[in-house]
Structure 1
Amino acid sequence: MAACAEFAAAQNEGAIGGTVQDSTGAVLPQATVKLTSREQGTVRSATTNQSGVYQFSFLPPGTYDFDVSSNGFKSLRVTGITLAVAQNDRRDFKLEVGGVSENITVSGTVENVNTDNATMGSVIENKRVVEMPLNGRLFFNLAALTPGVMPAAQNSTNSTRGGFNIMGGCDVCNNFTLNGFFNNNEAAGIPAVRPSIDAIQEFNILTGIYPAQYGFNSGGQIIVTTKSGSNEFHGSGYEFLRNQAMDARNFFSAPGALPPFKRNQYGGVIGGPIQKDKTFFFFNYEGLKLSQGITSRTTYPTTAMQSGDFSGISKVIKDPTTGQPFPSNKIPPQMINKIGAAIMGLYPAPTFASAAGALPSNNYAFQQTRPEKYNQFSLKIDHTFSARDSGYATANYYNDIATETGATITAGCTPYYVPEFTCSPLQ
């Protein structure tokens, strides 16, 4: 996939706006508002209109400082404003009469109550993404920290792949975005690219009443933003190794035997400046090598069915040549195809009995070794063109190859490749 994600950028980034007034509440047109990113040192500037309104759009999540000034008034500095992913924040400022050289500094401001929209949801910030223990290091497992979000049912194929129920919606009805780009595996209703938790800045889960800019699916919105570089170089590496030496025996394994299990997950991140205060990069790589014995279940004909005896089910079996039911629901031996009978002989006997009168379902448990290997990387470039214009480009690659021998006659090998390139509009 390749696309310039201008149409979706507003879904990923935030905005800060408000009014500038004097101490009596009168609006101040032509006031200057400067916004400084603490992480990157970039400065953006805006001038209030005739209604005293200013607006900064397409802002990445982070911490910002404000400098507000107007002729005939004391300058105001407000520090430590935190903006979450896809958050629209309102900040109104009041200036006192005095000289521009006089300064008032406000630090550690409290979080504003959102009075502009009624969006319901929760932000999973970087601290929780990195520090919460996660089996498999899959970011979407943190979604359950949000009120109204439940894991997919255990028998759902999406229960371990990124599917979950939001406010009672189905587990394939959610919409995933990554850095403003649609990130959906539409065939399964799960994220196509699963970024490493070391690359995620934070993500936002909208559970309902979200603005019209969101859509695509009827469920919740999962908005993920990856990290950006800063004016200092930072990096880290990691490796997580597990194997069967410390595992307990599977219930279905032979006594004394341990199913094979080898899991090696490794990677690293690095970010920094390309040009100080102007251009930044952030790169992440993660790999996984996994081989494990798993217990699976499938459906086989019962031993009686393999010989043509369907008397144990309520469904009527009919003679295809006459349309009449077979006596006692049993197919005569002379009507059973020899090739079909030979194929039936390849199937093992079920390990679970079927319910009386019902067709068999998941009646055979078996052990298999499932090897899996994936590689993924992400690259993000941020550039500031001027005090009013900035943009970014991202590249993501994810491939996952898993082989399952299964319990049927044929084996399956499913490679999964997802390359992406996205870019933002000038902001």
Structure 2
Amino acid sequence: MQGSVRRVVWLGLALLMLGGLARGQRERSSIGGRVSDASGAVIPGVAITITNTHTGVSSHSETNGEGIYTVSALPVGIYRVEAKKEGFKTAVADNIDLGVAQQVTMDLTLQIGEIAEKVTVTSETPLLETTAEIGSAMTDQVFHELPITIDEFNGRQPQTFIFSSLPGSTGNSFSGSINGGQLFSHEVLVDGIAIARYDISGGSISGFNPSVEAIGEFKLQANNYSAQYGESQSGIVSFQMKSGTNELHGNLYEYHRDRLFNAAGWRVNTFAPNGVDAAGKAIRAQNVQNNFGGTVGGPVFLPKVYNGRNKTFFFFSYDSMRVVTKPRGSLMTFPTSDQLEGDFSRLLDLSNEIGVDALGRPVFQGALYDPATTRPIKNGSIDPATGLMATQDGFIRDAFGFNPVTGAAFPGQANIIPQSRWSKVSGNIIPFYKEVPRINDNLFRNLARSGTNGPYLHINTVSIKVDHAFTDRHKFSSMFNYNDNPGSNGVVFFGGGPIGLD
């Protein structure tokens, strides 16, 4: 069977609102603090300008009567904070690295002097985060430098990194648990929008699956997170999609996997389930994976028409996953020809007496007992069917083809089930079993089986993000994600020898 899954998601974040109202964008961050003079006295009415150094987009605020300022709804990025007031030198805090859903405190001190003079402080140490939440944040650089497993069915899944690397979490690309919570019980946000699969109670983005290269940063909020996150039973995972900047940047990548680079493994070397080559060496199963794509981002620029520097930005990502697998062989145990006739004598070992039953009769390795003869027995009582005295309480049965009194095997009858005792269902099924060709008539590992979970898989993911600043208080962000996932369901073949790889 073949299937094709296409998912298109358009997330329009129209942030056309005042800064105070923009707090609803949950992946957004904020910078705030107190402005004072050299003596520690607070200064009201200080003009605050916060600028993203990569895009040139600025936001403005002013300190209140307590000298406090807050600018919220800031996307991830590197920022510069400027504080200006007549009679004081301009205070500048530079290189503030703001992560996903982060609230940073940046206090400033103004010195008496001309406003044209500047006092710059460069942030080199982590700034104080003003929330009590417990979690882990990952920057763009660290996220893309650390290894992420390539899932055979979904490519590089962002959640794989979280559940295989971050403390307090466990799971895989499809499901996971945070702080010991139930599977699928955590909330997943992409650019502040809940995107988890709620047909399975959330916690998985396998249906959306943005490209890893399109994700800039993420944050795992494991405990004590804000009340605005009301849809989670265990934790919050926030992904921030990459945005363009004033500089044009891009990359190309490919991750390749092939059986030529894989170790054969113990099972292949021992049993050669896929056959052997001309030199008699075991053939490794075919499994080719190619994950390739590229990204490009920058300002929107139309020559002689529009220059979007410091205003309008785009980021485009294309990711493709190609998987081709050939059936993998193995050996399984199937009823032998004599067993399909009711003869299980080859299972019986009359030389191996493993004990006695409640009537003192010998019990042999591999003996089959007739369930229709099951009966209870009390210690010291006489069994009416055999006339034997029981030596203990329990249940007894008579073995097929054995003398019920002495427990000795009748020649040519032991462990043979007469067809009169077969059920009607078994009698109808057994003819089909006889048609399955076995590779030998051994008792065990006599049937070849070959199969694969999905012979092929082609995933194409396209992501486009556009950001535009109308004013310092009115901004627009929109993200489009297209996921095409055609593939085939798994198949299993029984019978015959190993399936060739040509």
Whether 1:292 aligns to 2:325 is yes
Whether 1:165 aligns to 2:177 is yes
Aligned to 1:180: 192
Counterpart Cα distance in 2 of 1:13 and 1:196? 21
Q: How does 1:116-265 map to 2 (within 5 A)?
A: 116-136=130-150, 137-143=156-162, 144-150=164-170, 152=171, 159=172, 161-188=173-200, 189-191=203-205, 192-249=207-264, 251-252=267-268, 253=273, 254-255=275-276, 256-265=282-291
Aligned to 1:280: 313
Aligned to 1:94: 109
One-letter identity of the residue aligned with 2:248: F
User: 1:340 offset after TM fit, Å?
Assistant: 5.3
Cα displacement string for residues 25-75 of structure 1 (whole angstroms, at most 9, x for unaligned residues): 332222100011111011211122233222211111111011101122221
Counterpart Cα distance in 2 of 1:205 and 1:102? 41
Counterpart Cα distance in 2 of 1:24 and 1:366? 80
Distance verdict in 2 for CA 1:339–1:238, change over 3 Å: same
Distance verdict in 2 for CA 1:260–1:408, change over 3 Å: closer
Aligned to 2:358: none
Distance verdict in 2 for CA 1:71–1:344, change over 3 Å: farther
One-letter identity of the residue aligned with 1:63: I
User: 1:8 offset after TM fit, Å?
Assistant: 9.4
Higher RCO (C-alpha 8 Å, min separation 6): 2
One-letter identity of the residue aligned with 1:17: G
Aligned to 2:404: none
Whether 1:389 aligns to 2:474 is yes
Cα displacement string for residues 207-242 of structure 1 (whole angstroms, at most 9, x for unaligned residues): 111111123231221111111111121111122232
Aligned to 1:418: none
Aligned residue for 2:25, secondary structure, equals helix
Cα displacement string for residues 67-92 of structure 1 (whole angstroms, at most 9, x for unaligned residues): 10112222111111110011111212
Distance verdict in 2 for CA 1:257–1:79, change over 3 Å: same
Structure 2: gaps (5+ residues)? 1-8, 15-21, 151-155, 277-281, 301-307, 344-365, 373-397, 400-416, 439-447, 495-502
Counterpart Cα distance in 1 of 2:250 and 2:450? 44
Structure 1: gaps (5+ residues)? 153-158, 318-326, 350-363, 410-427
User: 1:108 offset after TM fit, Å?
Assistant: 3.1
Q: How does 1:353-372 map to 2 (within 5 A)?
A: 367-368=451-452, 370-372=455-457
Counterpart Cα distance in 2 of 1:8 and 1:348? 68
Q: How does 1:301-312 map to 2 (within 5 A)?
A: none
Q: TM-score, normalised by structure 2?
A: 0.66
Aligned to 1:335: 424
Q: TM-score, normalised by structure 1?
A: 0.76
User: 1:380 offset after TM fit, Å?
Assistant: 0.5
Whether 1:56 aligns to 2:89 is no
User: 1:395 offset after TM fit, Å?
Assistant: 0.5
Aligned to 1:402: 487
Which of 51-60 and 372-381 deviates more?
A: 51-60
Aligned residue for 1:172, secondary structure, equals coil
Counterpart Cα distance in 2 of 1:300 and 1:50? 82
Cα displacement string for residues 233-288 of structure 1 (whole angstroms, at most 9, x for unaligned residues): 11111222322222233525244222112112111101111111110000000011
Counterpart Cα distance in 1 of 2:74 and 2:436? 60
Structure 1 vs Structure 2 CA RMSD: 3.8
Counterpart Cα distance in 1 of 2:40 and 2:296? 47
Aligned residue for 2:491, secondary structure, equals coil
One-letter identity of the residue aligned with 1:397: Y
Which of 276-285 and 257-266 deviates more?
A: 257-266
Counterpart Cα distance in 2 of 1:52 and 1:267? 49
Distance verdict in 2 for CA 1:305–1:59, change over 3 Å: farther
User: 1:2 offset after TM fit, Å?
Assistant: 5.0
Distance verdict in 2 for CA 1:295–1:55, change over 3 Å: farther
Counterpart Cα distance in 2 of 1:333 and 1:8? 73
Pick the structure with greater CA Rg.
2
One-letter identity of the residue aligned with 2:148: L
One-letter identity of the residue aligned with 1:211: S
Counterpart Cα distance in 2 of 1:5 and 1:348? 62
User: 1:4 offset after TM fit, Å?
Assistant: 4.5
Counterpart Cα distance in 2 of 1:308 and 1:399? 52
Counterpart Cα distance in 1 of 2:341 and 2:102? 64
Report the identity percentage: 26
Instruction: Check the 8 A contact 1:129/1:139 in 2, yes or no.
Output: no
Instruction: Check the 8 A contact 2:297/2:313 in 1, yes or no.
Output: yes
Distance verdict in 2 for CA 1:104–1:240, change over 3 Å: same
User: 1:172 offset after TM fit, Å?
Assistant: 2.1
Distance verdict in 2 for CA 1:367–1:67, change over 3 Å: same
Instruction: Check the 8 A contact 2:23/2:72 in 1, yes or no.
Output: no
Distance verdict in 2 for CA 1:242–1:217, change over 3 Å: same
One-letter identity of the residue aligned with 1:404: N
Instruction: Check the 8 A contact 1:65/1:78 in 2, yes or no.
Output: yes
Q: How does 1:97-108 map to 2 (within 5 A)?
A: 97-108=112-123
Aligned to 1:360: none
Aligned residue for 1:184, secondary structure, equals coil
Counterpart Cα distance in 2 of 1:348 and 1:119? 63
User: 1:93 offset after TM fit, Å?
Assistant: 1.6
Instruction: Check the 8 A contact 2:259/2:287 in 1, yes or no.
Output: yes
